[in-house]
Amino acid sequence: MTTYATSAALDYLASGHQPPDALPAADPLRLPPVHKRYPSAARQVLPPPPDDPRHDELLPCLSWLLHRTNGLTRMRWMSGIMPLGLGAPAARRVLLSPGRTGAASGSRYPVEVYVAHPDHDGLPAGLSHYDPVHHVLERLREGDGRALLTPLLAEPPAQEPEFVLLLSSVLWRNAAKYGVFGYRLLSLDAGVAVAQAVAAAEATGLTARVHPRYDDAALDETLGLSPFAESVFAVVTLHRPDSPRTSATPATWRGQIPSAKPDPVPITKIPALAEVAALHAAVRRAAPEGSATLPPLPDAPRHALPPASLDVADGFAGRRTVYGYRPGPVPQQTLAALLAAAAEPVVDGTPVQLAGAVQRVPGVETGAHLYDAAGHALVATRGADAVTAVITAAKSPMLADECRTATAVLAPCGDLRTGIERFGDRWYRAQNIAAGAAAQRIALAAAAAGLESHVHCDFDPEGVRSALGLSAGPLQPLVLVTVGPRAPHRTDPQLPLRAEGGVN
């Protein structure tokens, strides 16, 4: 078996880059826009997303799916808690910011969504970019080239997909704010979008399959992307139950990709991001086969959880970011349903282990636990002092305060080092994408259960690892999600936005 003892990803891990230590690479008051357009492209107005996603016609289903995956869903009156820290409401600066169903680091929203689609319901076959601001498809190429895309995947689907979603990341959009640390956040944010796409597809009756390995250069070229400015991070194929195995239509693309506005800045032009450019180049080169398994759970006291379930798609409407919780009890049944839904795998072959510190759940011992998804049980890893230890490992007053009031501080964990040594540099991105997907499923499940949440990376990884009782093993926390009951004074006002396709 080939091993990768030296790699760009291992060097990146060794060099740190944790917030708030990571310095931004640009003036924070002059950050790049969070969306792009193709002004000269033909535009296909999408119908308003239907109330019922299981629509008889395919185009309304696609409209609903794209809106839930990456559309503008709400307007936030941000009270200033996040930019200014904790303080009295009267002293907070008010900011107006459009929000989406999926969380994004620093509201930078680096993910762009492209879709290859057949000729259906008045939508000509083509390769299109989804413009979330105007809820339209911008046609980049004509023709049905889905069969040209699937051979570029390391594991092509047996059936022809109804749609192929290509999820890209605009590297500078995120790195401008977070510097070198931005690459980890780009991967987590891509995972959030992946989880959104999968949950939305399943709600429409489509079957989704995530493809983390593919021919990077060929896919970027197909989309007309400059790979160090914007690059494909994940592919999701969507299937109907009655999809044919092969298409009767010859596969083809026609036309040249139009110019995008704004044109993203390549990170290779930013000296401060040289380490990110090296890691991205290494990730694009390496696509080894194989899948990993999680380490065995420890032989420790177990707490069987009651049977419970929920549909994460029910959390689309209520998912949002809050900055604290009402420290009241949460029923054990609610925690059980949340964990069961959140732990469902999204990316095959890239497992994530849920760990967390739990408090104020009657019948569940306060402390740190691993979640055994197969046995639907909590495995104890540390006692009640775990809650205080997690608070100590927080690197911001906001996270520390949330940890005090939250019902649970949940950590999607992975074995980054072993995975990189075994599978190469690409594992770094794949593992973080899987962790981001798990974090978003936690947030959606929390909303479906009537709880609130906030995704965080502002923590000391080794400190949280110790706090959760994981120091003896290879797992490390990749992201944190605080979850708890709503506290009205810790929630920004939210106004739902309705998608009206074609509005200029």
Q: Per residue in 357-390, pLDDT tens?
A: 999 999 999 999 999 999 999 999 999 999 999 9
pLDDT at position 6 is: 62
* Segment 84-88 mean pLDDT: 45
Tell me which H or E stretch contains 382.
Answer: strand 377-382
Over pLDDT 70: what percentage of the chain?
A: 91
Amino acid, single-letter form, for residue 192: V
CATH of domain 37-74+106-285: 3.40.109.10
pLDDT at position 489 is: 80
Residues of the chain with CATH 3.40.109.10: 37-74+106-285, 302-490
pLDDT at 81 over 70: no
Strand partners, 33: none
pLDDT at 87 over 60: no
**Residue 272: how many other CB atoms lie within 10 Å:** 14
Q: What is the pLDDT of residues 12-36, one digit of tens each?
A: 988 876 666 666 777 777 889 999 9
pLDDT at position 77 is: 75
Q: What is the pLDDT of residues 157-216, one digit of tens each?
A: 999 999 999 999 999 999 999 999 999 999 999 999 999 999 999 999 999 999 999 999
Q: What is the pLDDT of residues 284-301, one digit of tens each?
A: 987 666 788 999 999 999
- CA 49 centroid distance within chain: 22
For residue 236, what are the CA distances in angstroms to 148, 197, 287, 316, 467?
Answer: 15, 8, 17, 19, 36
pLDDT at 476 over 60: yes
pLDDT at 116 over 90: yes
pLDDT at position 21 is: 66
pLDDT at position 458 is: 93
Identify the band that residue 83 occupies on the pLDDT scale cut at 50, 70 and 90.
Answer: very low
For 334, the token pair is: 């609610």
Lowest-confidence pick of 49-63, 77-91, 95-109, 324-338: 77-91
Core vs surface per residue 477-503: b (16+ CB within 10 A) or e:
bbbbbbbbbebeebbbeeeebebebee
For 104, the token pair is: 């994004």
pLDDT at position 1 is: 45
pLDDT at position 74 is: 86
pLDDT at position 14 is: 87
Average pLDDT, the chain: 91
pLDDT at position 52 is: 87
pLDDT at position 269 is: 94
Query: Which of 87-96, 247-256, 408-417 is most confident?
Result: 408-417
**Residue 110: how many other CB atoms lie within 10 Å:** 28
Among 480, 475, 456, which residue's Cα sits nearest to residue 414?
475
pLDDT at 73 over 60: yes
Q: Are 430 and 282 in contact (CB under 8 A)?
A: no
For residue 129, what are the CA distances in angstroms to 38, 141, 302, 478?
Answer: 8, 10, 48, 30
Domain covering 302-490, topology: NADH Oxidase (3.40.109)
**Residue 6: how many other CB atoms lie within 10 Å:** 9
Q: Are 253 and 144 in contact (CB under 8 A)?
A: no
pTM: 0.94
Among 214, 225, 122, 203, which residue's Cα sits nearest to residue 164?
214
* Segment 117-135 mean pLDDT: 94
